Amino acid sequence: MGNSAAKDLHLVHAGTSKQTGGHLTPRQIEILKLVAEGYTNEMIAECLSIVLGTVKNHVKEICRRLGARSRTHSVTLGIRRNIIR
């Protein structure tokens, strides 16, 4: 593994990756876990007693912070970076 790749895989802190520098809040990690379990945005909103727009904003921010192209990609990155299991 090249030095750059090793740095990318190195975890600085739970929820933080050197690659993007993106730290997820506890709420964002909670939402990412629900996304990983297959919950729709509507289901997440109901489960957490928040409005749908708030869930969409959280998912968009999770993707931005992780550098993900989609919610599915954010789950993959979350697992690879040991943010979620």
The residues spanned by each domain of the chain are 3-80
pTM here? 0.75
Residue 11: the pLDDT is 36
Q: Which CATH number fits domain 3-80: 3.40.50.1100, 3.40.50.12500, 1.50.10.10, 1.10.10.10?
A: 1.10.10.10
Residue 19: the pLDDT is 44
Angle at 48 between CA 67 and CA 68, to 5 degrees: 10
> Which residue is listed with tokens 């919950």?
39
19-78 confidence digits (pLDDT tens): 444 699 999 999 999 999 999 999 999 999 999 999 999 999 999 999 999 999 999 999
Q: Provide the phi-psi class of 26: left if phi over 0, else alpha when psi is between -120 and 50, else beta.
A: alpha
* 17 or 44, greater pLDDT: 44
Distance CA 75, CA 7 (A): 20
Residue 5: the pLDDT is 36
